[in-house]
Structure 1
Amino acid sequence: MLDDFLIRAALAGIGLTLATGPLGAFVVWRRMAYFGDATAHAAILGVALSFGFGLSVYIGTLAVALGMALTVASLSGRGHAMDTVLGVLAHSALAFGLVAASFFSGLRVDLSAWLFGDILAVSRADLAIVWGGALAVLGLMLWRWQGLLTATLNEELAQASGLNPRRERLALTLALALTVAVSIKIVGALLIAALLIIPAATARQLARTPEAMAMGAVGCGAASVMAGLLASMQFDTPAGPSIVAAAACLFVLSLGVRRRA
């Protein structure tokens, strides 16, 4: 029989995929991979500030991730080159986060857990936060689905339909920041973007409609979680990286399936 911590880890990972699946689809469609990476890197600064001010890690991470996402959106809207802005902010936020973390001995010892995740240490309270945040993101995606999809396909068409593309981008920004905040303890700051992108990219090889891709991304993410946890238990490897490695293997398999189709 599985231990309680393994059950909690599986439930946390599967709950997280409810958010990363549909959100990851938009990240892939909009080519926002580096945007997700920058927001995730900023999470380490949020962790350090949370320790410094005695806040919940989830609150501190959400605040910094949201601030990073809004800053990037604002600067890119003023004509700055997106890749340059993201490169500067991503590496700067990670560097400042690591420097800030060095001032707190407890955080310095556990820093690898925040960088690479520790899904096996998820508590019942963490599980409630993960599922609450994931369901909130999923609800936002379902509510704004048609508007997000239209704005992603063609912003001029979205405006002609009475939609505001900036509002849709803001919805994605909020969803991304919340996803980063709730997933920091599970897969860590360095692997969040991978869990957003790889399952969605895998589903893209097989899906024929946007909705099928989003649902497929959830399924691929959940399968990666289960396979990664089993591999971690079998081979005594880190759980977070094992989950991402399993997702990468599924992506390679999907390429083979598509070639045969």
Structure 2
Amino acid sequence: MLDDFLIRAALAGVGVALATGPLGAFVVWRRMAYFGDATAHAAILGVALALATDLPIVAGTLVVALAMAISVAGLAARGWALDTTLGVMAHSALAFGLVAVSFLPGVRTDLSAWLFGDILAVSKGDLALIWGGAALVLGLLAWRWQALLTATLNEDLAHSTGIRPERERLVLVIALAVVVAVALKVVGALLISAMLIIPAAAARGLARSPEGMAAGAIGIGALAALAGLALSLWQDTPAGPSIVVAAAAAFAVSALMGRVRGA
């Protein structure tokens, strides 16, 4: 019989996969990998904000992640060269967060749980938050799916059909901030972008439609979560990084299958 904490951890991993799968597909299609990285790194500054103001951790990370994502989206809309800007913003936000926590009086916390995740410590309240956030992200993406696809494919085509690419970009920004806030405890700030990118990239070589890629990314992400937990239990490895290792193995298998099929 599995212990309750393992069941909660498995449900948390699957819940995160539900959110990161379809959103990760758009991150891959739009080449927004660094964008997701910057938003995730900003979450540590959100942890510091929450600890300083006695806010719930999720509220602090959501506020800061949303502010970072909107700022980056605004810079992109104004034509900024984002490679360097994102690099500066991502690492600065992470460093400011780490330094800010050290200045908080009376606060003694191990930030490794927020950097690399602590899925084995997920509570029932965390589960409700993760699944609620996943439902919000799935609902948001389902509502705007066709418009998001059109704006991703061709912004001029989107304009001609009455779709505003800026609005669709904002939808993705909001969804990304929600994912960062709910996934922080599961895989941590440094690994969130991996769970956004790797399952979607693995599904890309196997899918025949955008919807198939999104569904495949959910499946691969869920399997990676379960396999990573099994590896952690078997070899006593860190759970969050183990999940990413499992996802990377799935990507390697997908790439190999793609080469064999191409041959």
Q: What is the TM-score with the length of structure 1 in the denominator?
A: 0.98
Distance 2:75 2:26 in 1: 20
Paired residue type of 1:227? A
Quick one: structure 1 residues 107 and 237, their matched pair in 2 at CA, closer, same or farther if it must change by over 3 Å?
A: farther
Residue 77 of structure 1: CA displacement? 1.6
Distance 1:105 1:212 in 2: 50
Match of 1:40 in 2: 40
Unmatched 5+ stretches in structure 1:
none
Match of 2:246 in 1: 246
CA RMSD of aligned residues (A): 1.0
Unmatched 5+ stretches in structure 2:
none
Distance 2:31 2:79 in 1: 17
Do residues 189 (structure 1) and 198 (structure 2) align? no
Distance 2:242 2:103 in 1: 30
Match of 1:212 in 2: 212
Secondary structure, aligned partner of 2:189: coil
Q: Is 1:48–1:107's contact at 8 Å kept on the other side of the alignment?
A: no
For residues 54-80 of structure 1, give each alpha carbon's deviation from its aligned partner in whole angstroms, at most 9, with x where no partner exists: 000000000000000011111222221
Q: Is 1:10–1:226's contact at 8 Å kept on the other side of the alignment?
A: yes
Distance 1:236 1:105 in 2: 34
Match of 2:176 in 1: 176
Match of 2:87 in 1: 87
Distance 2:71 2:216 in 1: 31
Paired residue type of 1:239? A
* Pairs aligned (count): 261
Distance 1:25 1:256 in 2: 20
For residues 65-96 of structure 1, give each alpha carbon's deviation from its aligned partner in whole angstroms, at most 9, with x where no partner exists: 00000111112222211112211110110010
Match of 2:31 in 1: 31
Paired residue type of 1:179? V
Distance 2:103 2:42 in 1: 17
Match of 1:152 in 2: 152
Match of 2:143 in 1: 143
Distance 2:241 2:106 in 1: 23
Distance 1:65 1:108 in 2: 23
Distance 1:113 1:242 in 2: 14
Distance 1:127 1:110 in 2: 21
Distance 2:25 2:232 in 1: 27
What's the % identity of the aligned pairs?
69
Quick one: structure 1 residues 216 and 84, their matched pair in 2 at CA, closer, same or farther if it must change by over 3 Å?
A: same
Distance 2:48 2:223 in 1: 32
Distance 2:187 2:230 in 1: 15
Distance 1:80 1:107 in 2: 38
Paired residue type of 1:248? A
